[in-house]
Amino acid sequence: MSWLDLPAGTGFGLGNLPYGVFSTPGTAPRTGVAVGDSVLDLAAATGDPVHATGSLNGFMAQGPEAWAALRRQLQEWFTDEAHRGTVEPHLLPHRDVSLHLPVEVADYVDFYSSQHHAENLGRMFRPDSPPLTPNWKHLPIGYHGRSGTVQVSGTPVVRPCGQRKAPGDDAPTFGPSLRLDIEAEVGFLVGVGSELGSAVPLAHFPQHVFGVCLVNDWSARDLQSWEYVPLGPFLGKSFLTSLSPWVVPLAALEAARVSPPARDPQPLPYLRDDEHPWGLDIELQVRLNGEALSWPPFREMYWTPAQQLAHMTVNGANLRTGDLFASGTVSGPGKHQRGSFIEMSWGGTEPIGLEDGTSRTFLDDGDVITITASAPGPDGTRIAFGEVTGRIEPAR
């Protein structure tokens, strides 16, 4: 259907067309679209200065009609042979480009919307209480993270230092984290902002959210467990959050929409989503040094991103272009569906055996974590999300 020579089974077909920011040696970062093994230089191909700014924010702010119009145009360009002569000169091999953080992140909110993850953590952190706190099934719990440390995939992960205290110790000690972990998550990027003082209804989700990426919310569990009562995670999370460079448009995920799990009890009216289900059948994969360890299923998430958006603004908080909100760790019911090492190794008590004969509870220096994902696309194709990766460097 396309004059492009698309690799068989590519996750970057015409049903995907994710946006990112790239550069080549000696050129300025600009917007690109991934297609097959190529990247289309959108700044050059369109001549539109909004794609030459070095971030997607300007385009994201234009709203759903502009997003749909460009998507239609791209699909026409790649389908109709008549455009080949003008488009092809602006295609670059993917392997020749450097990818940058695709957006200027405004606020970063991290949710906690996998019931399996929350129950696993609850059992470990609060063994004497029910695994879910009483509020968990009434609202999507979330908190603000540090947007200044959201970085693009590939950014080195310097092992953080900080305070931790073992249960038997009298006082905390200081040093490099001994329980460095990942959180495999899916992130949603806000394109169109909203007005301070007004809630955004759940049904308006596709009017505000531009696209979807992968997030690794690196976590130092020892720092986190000592600091997090009563005001929540802070330094245990704020040293780095990695983002995949390709932003999959919401429009690419129509075939991936599924009904979310049944909710019991029924949530309050502003969170009811019977008419606007935004479960998404995204399958994640977590690899350690190349070895696949886990396949977290996003379709199992108890709260959807549309519910998260409605909740986040129900108090009148406004949205801004570039706001990022992430799902929270994606974990399914199975042992090989967990999105963090603290769950996979059950708090460090059950080491994970690896193919090379070693084992892990948490991450070692030199370890490389790569998270990928795919989802159903149109006509039986698959949508790929690219990857978010990072290598652990020793503490400084």
Active site residue 138: no
- Using the contact rule CB under 8 A, the part of the chain among 75-83, 156-164, 276-284, 338-346 near its own copies is 156-164
- Select 129 or 358, whichever has its Cβ closest to its own copies: 129
Q: Does 151 bind its own copies (CB under 8 A)?
A: yes
- Tell me the closest approach of the beta carbon of residue 218 to its own copies, in angstroms: 10
Amino acid letter for position 230: P
Give the DSSP H/E element, type plus range, for residue 59: helix 57-60
Closest CA to 254 of 378, 373, 374, 372: 378
Q: Does 226 bind its own copies (CB under 8 A)?
A: yes
Identified binder of its own copies from the candidate list 233, 297, 305, 390, rule CB under 8 A: 233
Tell me which of 117, 204, 276, 311 is the catalytic residue.
117
Chain residues 28-47 in contact with its own copies, contact rule CB under 8 A: none
Q: How far apart are CA 147 and CA 133, in angstroms?
A: 27
Chain residues 90-129 in contact with its own copies, contact rule CB under 8 A: 106-107, 112, 122, 125-126
Closest CA to 219 of 115, 385, 356, 369: 369
Q: How far apart are CA 392 and CA 340, in angstroms?
A: 15
- Using the contact rule CB under 8 A, the part of the chain among 47-55, 75-83, 205-213, 227-235 near its own copies is 227-235
With b for 16 or more beta-carbon neighbours within 10 A and e for fewer, the 157-182 pattern comes to bebbbbebeeeeeeeeeeebbebbbb
Q: Does 171 bind its own copies (CB under 8 A)?
A: yes
- Using the contact rule CB under 8 A, the part of the chain among 71-79, 167-175, 286-294, 368-376 near its own copies is 167-175
- Using the contact rule CB under 8 A, the part of the chain among 52-60, 166-174, 243-251, 289-297 near its own copies is 166-174
Give the DSSP H/E element, type plus range, for residue 306: helix 305-313
Q: How far apart are CA 270 and CA 198, in angstroms?
A: 13
Q: CA quadruple 116, 117, 123, 124: dihedral positive or negative?
A: positive
Is 72 exposed, middle or buried (CB count within 10 Å of its CB: 0-12, 13-18, 19+)?
A: exposed
- Select 220 or 282, whichever has its Cβ closest to its own copies: 220
- Select 95 or 396, whichever has its Cβ closest to its own copies: 396
Q: Does 270 bind its own copies (CB under 8 A)?
A: yes
Identified binder of its own copies from the candidate list 97, 209, 235, 248, rule CB under 8 A: 235
**Cβ-Cβ contacts under 8 Å for 394 (sequence gap 6 or more):** 158, 159, 176, 365
Cα dist from 355 to 26, 288, 344, whole Å = 41, 11, 16
Active site residues: 117
Q: Which residues bind its own copies (CB under 8 A)?
A: 106-107, 112, 122, 125-126, 133-135, 138-139, 141-149, 151, 155-156, 158, 160-163, 165, 171-174, 196-199, 220, 223, 226-236, 238-240, 265, 268-270, 311-312, 314-320, 323, 393, 396
